[in-house]
Structure 1
């Protein structure tokens, strides 16, 4: 059963992103308020760049991005506190030697007793209690991705953006991460090649060659993507 989702608005207005003279995104505009949003498209289509716009990892060269009433350029610091980002490769996020230390890092600045209690709760919730103090390098691929996701969720973000979070996982762990993402109380944007996962969302976007070419019901967008690939 899914939790009641705290939905906010996402507004991308005529956004263009360029890198080394090449346009990665071209004049993208979209208003989103669905709880769970899938972003699909071929490699190099611009979908990951779109995801990075949502927490200010990428800033637009033209246009404006508003996420939960925060401007990605003007309110960058506040936006990064409100939006949690989960990378494809968890090694990009796991910074400390052990799971317990990594989760504690996300809560730096909080009272020690509160950190210890929340870390213990997060480890238990995500099935990592028995791995709390083992080297993170010894975790399985699924456990590493679960830790990366837990380190984001422990900060209680209002929006979670996950960039191909299941790509490196086997079927069992892929399903486990997918189910967790879709059950969150936070609003979720998932960049994915897993069309079954995309179809389980409330809304979907399709990118092609830097342009947003479809937006709507997931089954319709997935069908259009399949036709495009064919």
Structure 2
């Protein structure tokens, strides 16, 4: 029935003459070489015409998509996600646990002086749904304001509060570094004690041995 209503047909490369007959009612398409090579059959052609169609490889498609992804940010309507989040909250009274990337996301939006799902996607390398959830959590904590359609959310903290939050993160990093240094020092001391137990005395350095011989 479909063949009767659509007299013009196109066939790309197929596996066998039988497949070609299904499409064109005659063999030939099984001899095509692929990559846009095709046969066109219309009511005014005595036999199918071999023509070259546009061909784009998978590698080229990926290259174009990667280029577009790097050049432009997606323009999402965050009010839709916010509305959905409110509906989900009606069925779940328990407070949602913070995402493990919450603190990093907070630092990201404070440094950028704006909050948006696309910003978190790009900086944290996460999907849109997760970025939107983290953004809602930032709003619940009073870090960012309400959704403003396609515009980024405003930071609701004062300049002093922003500075304190960022300084707090820096102090935590210093504490972690000091803790790592202390652990390393303790490990070195333990290794020295183990060498003393194994040899009966600490290993002499080459310079000290030469001085005693002289």
Q: Which has the larger radius of gyration?
A: 2
Same fold (TM over 0.5): no
Higher strand fraction: Structure 1 or Structure 2? Answer: 1
Task: Give TM class, smaller chain.
Answer: under 0.3
User: Normalising by structure 1, what TM-score?
Assistant: 0.20
Q: Which has the higher helix share?
A: 2
